[in-house]
Structure 1
């Protein structure tokens, strides 16, 4: 480097406020220290060495003031005030506005771009939304590294603030993908919307061997994404519609919402409690469901919260859904107690909204020959449709809301979904309402509005993507609530053989809860901690998808084929 260049670098460094201002502050501090040594007679110390003088100047300028050294003359008081005011002036006129604030503003304007050196075999998530929030939570819990790429500086800053790796910019930009270390990545998830995903998938497939997962909003885009180079194409709306359709079929064909066969004659299902039911306002213990019907309440859904083994003092209200286990006959009796009407006179369904989710619900109903009426603003080539707004009382009445047994609300707007739920519940207090929530934050509100079963698009999509990243595929699992799943595990050959539930520590280690044990035709709901797990036992376990995976791995459990 030439002498001229060295001089230029030195001049630039000296001109920097992070050199100039500290040097000035240091000079002022040194001057005040020397002055204190000269004026020491005006303080209670009499004489002061350099260290004592520096100590007093620092605690005075920073307004700490321990009080061990103090002025005893008028001149000492005046000098003390000058030093204190100088310290305040330096803090508020130099340090904060000219040194600290620029650093903060620079960070807010330009989030940091450097990723951790150890980052490899990670997941690059392109595009942030509520579904990605669920995915981030699932991957973080499994200890899988990730990088989020988004164009919003605010989103990237927030992610970085919470400890996640994130980059700001256009995800289809090859240089940005290299910054995200695409060549070392295990998966790239394209979640930028159908219009931007194509460019992203094309770019990623040309510069990396990583597996590419494309999230599509419209099912029509599936073939295009595969042609562009996507290895896996996922439609959260399709999976959501499939699950809502299965829930609708359960409510129509089994008489009670969400029936699950646990083996033998033992079943588990959800029983909504309707507003005019005499159970409303009673405690679970006072309802005496087991004495009257023989079935057991193993859990409840209340305002979207899944409560396993609820306490007897839990009060039943019109937002409560009982999750009960028992034989078919016991559940039918319990359904009568809970106010679930027999659907013999009403085996049809209303589908409110006929987008991708609504069409998938319709396909499920068509497969089983269940008649339905669609409410949508657009005219479709359907056997039975009401052209209109599902949030209109007139449209719901015209579609047969008073006589149908089930309505599936699949609109693309949560506020309109809530209004439809409120109207449907008001027009038919005993109708089974199955609803789509576009964000997880709306789930509880929809339950309070009167829905019996709610699934959120963001939760479903996030869990699907997490399962693909972990296992390479997503297997259908019985859903008890928006993110709570039910699974059956064989005890035989596992680490749980001949151990008690307390000894297993399942809830502490994995977050899962055993809500029932089946041995042959015998079913024991809500087993206690001292219950011993025999080789012939089949466990009925609830938890999130990742918790169930952890449980299966932790104890070497096997599921029924």
Structure 2
């Protein structure tokens, strides 16, 4: 999305944008004034009547120095003086245009990022966010939360600003950077400055003792230190990601539901992974008779890494399929049991954890302590919890860890290239193993699915959702989900039917329910007319929901549990 569309969407132009607009209006007024004076002078002083358009052409030629008009020479000294003045002012306008518009636009010379900021109030200041800044900033924009990003990397700040994000260059340990970001009007500060988190928190507290501070850290053991320093909330995205992966792995061995969202009383939405050897494995969605057997409705499905909303009835459910389903709690639990293989626990239900960093340790604690599932750990560095020492991107090491007969492999290594190679090798050793992968780059999610992963979570997406939930209490089917659910106003579609709305065709989102007068309708007729005071419940990927909010210019409403 370019800078202009972002400015229009927020309804507030930056200082630089306003300067350019004022300049263009001023230039137009100057040319119009010159045209009127010249046309009058030609008539009164030179005795030559001509159209206003002829005078406009002469003024334009003179100011742009492309010529001095076909009306020369002029007999009146006043007209000659006016022409000289107009020529000099045209040169001045040309230099001003070059300095203010042309040079910053094409060369980026002497860029003042502060001048690009629109006036801020009740906004969030983000400091040194290094988990793919665009993911978080898009999340904040989607929620209608204004922000300023402070980055000590000047090149990154310029790149983000050029893409239309509110970013400035500065040090979060410098009070002047926060003053330039209008901290006196801010609602919260988010710091992700690593070892400089403490310094940043102390700097903020010295300026605004009352502002909310949210600290992100990759070391969950520092939570008490950061809170003592002055942080109101401490988030550890990698630990949360490890918990989510472990919970997803545990759900493969039980019918217990995780990350359900309550849409209304008696109606929940969740994701359920289909296991190899289950009653659903190898069956088409049409023939699965999920609704008849369990009472749950299939809203969508991840099939071979592609989200289908709604799924093709003839699509075959495979062991890497993740079903997005709705229904009451009992129905969803019954479907979860149906998606499991019918067999007793054995070696095939053990878990291999590859990588014992922050993510791996968090996953291991959930698997062993909370679910009592046998686990084998692999890491390149020996330690008290490491069972196999070696590079996980090696067939021999994976064989030693028991991947060939394991039920689940959790790939928790920090390097995405290593994670992708490990996924491919594990899939070649055991086509039936469930592979759950952590990725550091959100753009690598699709690559992991193509490499053979059954489920993928990215650190940037987890981080952005945790921050969004902390700021707004927003509910989106859990931080570890690949799907997003939002309740949105229906004003843009008033008087249209669902079939005429073009929601799915234009955005990729699907409407799964509609609320009217406090009553929620789940089984929607495509010919149902949408009322202006309706509330629609939409589902889609993060990108699809962002596209919906942007295309139809609406803001999400919190889902009620």
TM-score (norm. length: structure 2): 0.66
The secondary structure found in structure 2 opposite 1:110 is: coil
CA shift for structure 1 position 362: 0.6
CA shift for structure 1 position 389: 0.6
Is 1:223 matched up with 2:224? yes
The secondary structure found in structure 2 opposite 1:253 is: coil
* Cα distance change, pair 428–97 in 1 and its aligned pair in 2 (3 A): same
CA shift for structure 1 position 359: 0.2
Q: How many Å separate the matches in 2 of 1:235 and 1:363?
A: 15
CA shift for structure 1 position 432: 0.7
Q: Which residue in 2 is equivalent to 1:467? A: 469
The structure whose Rg is larger is 1
The secondary structure found in structure 2 opposite 1:252 is: coil
Is 1:171 matched up with 2:172? yes
Q: How many Å separate the matches in 1 of 2:158 and 2:49?
A: 50
The answer to whether the 8 A contact 1:247-1:257 is kept is: no
Q: Which residue in 2 is equivalent to 1:199? A: 199
Alignment of 1:389-408 (within 5 A): 389-408=391-410
Q: Which residue in 2 is equivalent to 1:214? A: 215
Alignment of 1:373-384 (within 5 A): 373-382=376-385
Alignment of 1:498-517 (within 5 A): 513-514=511-512
Q: How many Å separate the matches in 2 of 1:451 and 1:141?
A: 29
Q: How many Å separate the matches in 1 of 2:472 and 2:49?
A: 69
Q: Which residue in 1 is equivalent to 2:373? A: 370
The secondary structure found in structure 2 opposite 1:147 is: strand
* Cα distance change, pair 416–458 in 1 and its aligned pair in 2 (3 A): same
* Cα distance change, pair 458–331 in 1 and its aligned pair in 2 (3 A): closer
Q: How many Å separate the matches in 1 of 2:180 and 2:229?
A: 22
Q: Which residue in 2 is equivalent to 1:290? A: 289
* Cα distance change, pair 99–348 in 1 and its aligned pair in 2 (3 A): closer
* Cα distance change, pair 540–244 in 1 and its aligned pair in 2 (3 A): farther
The answer to whether the 8 A contact 1:459-1:483 is kept is: no
Q: How many Å separate the matches in 2 of 1:431 and 1:257?
A: 21
Q: How many Å separate the matches in 1 of 2:456 and 2:57?
A: 66
The secondary structure found in structure 1 opposite 2:289 is: helix
* Cα distance change, pair 529–386 in 1 and its aligned pair in 2 (3 A): same
Q: Which residue in 2 is equivalent to 1:418? A: 420
The answer to whether the 8 A contact 1:350-1:406 is kept is: yes
Superposed CA RMSD? 5.3
CA shift for structure 1 position 242: 1.0
The secondary structure found in structure 1 opposite 2:274 is: strand
Q: Which residue in 2 is equivalent to 1:154? A: 155
Q: Which residue in 1 is equivalent to 2:482? A: 482
Stretches of structure 1 lacking an aligned partner (at least 5 in a row): 1-17, 38-46, 71-85, 488-500, 518-523, 533-538
Alignment of 1:249-328 (within 5 A): 249-254=250-255, 269-271=272-274, 279=282, 284=284, 288-290=287-289, 294=293, 297-302=298-303, 304-312=305-313, 320-323=321-324
Q: Which residue in 2 is equivalent to 1:129? A: 130
Q: How many Å separate the matches in 1 of 2:233 and 2:368?
A: 27
The answer to whether the 8 A contact 1:301-1:481 is kept is: no
The answer to whether the 8 A contact 2:439-2:445 is kept is: yes
The answer to whether the 8 A contact 2:137-2:165 is kept is: no
Deviations 1:520-561 (A, max 9, x none): xxxx996645899xxxxxx9985679989x9xx9899742xx
Q: Which residue in 2 is equivalent to 1:347? A: 349
* Cα distance change, pair 475–386 in 1 and its aligned pair in 2 (3 A): farther
Stretches of structure 2 lacking an aligned partner (at least 5 in a row): 1-22, 43-47, 72-86, 488-496, 516-520, 530-535, 550-554
CA shift for structure 1 position 366: 1.9
* Cα distance change, pair 224–264 in 1 and its aligned pair in 2 (3 A): closer
Aligned length: 459
Deviations 1:460-479 (A, max 9, x none): 111111111113xx889556
The secondary structure found in structure 2 opposite 1:445 is: helix
Q: How many Å separate the matches in 2 of 1:441 and 1:62?
A: 50
CA shift for structure 1 position 134: 2.7
The answer to whether the 8 A contact 2:191-2:200 is kept is: yes
CA shift for structure 1 position 288: 2.2
* Cα distance change, pair 322–515 in 1 and its aligned pair in 2 (3 A): farther
* Cα distance change, pair 514–53 in 1 and its aligned pair in 2 (3 A): closer
Q: How many Å separate the matches in 2 of 1:184 and 1:96?
A: 34
* Cα distance change, pair 177–206 in 1 and its aligned pair in 2 (3 A): same
The answer to whether the 8 A contact 2:217-2:235 is kept is: yes
CA shift for structure 1 position 112: 3.0
Q: Which residue in 1 is equivalent to 2:443? A: 441
The answer to whether the 8 A contact 2:125-2:149 is kept is: yes
CA shift for structure 1 position 94: 7.5
CA shift for structure 1 position 417: 0.8
Deviations 1:62-101 (A, max 9, x none): 9999xxx99xxxxxxxxxxxxxxx9xxx99x989877855
TM-score (norm. length: structure 1): 0.66
The answer to whether the 8 A contact 2:241-2:480 is kept is: no
CA shift for structure 1 position 451: 1.0
Q: Which residue in 2 is equivalent to 1:388? A: 390
Q: How many Å separate the matches in 2 of 1:95 and 1:226?
A: 51
CA shift for structure 1 position 199: 1.1
Q: How many Å separate the matches in 1 of 2:190 and 2:108?
A: 27
Q: Which residue in 1 is equivalent to 2:494? A: none
The secondary structure found in structure 2 opposite 1:420 is: helix
Is 1:427 matched up with 2:425? no
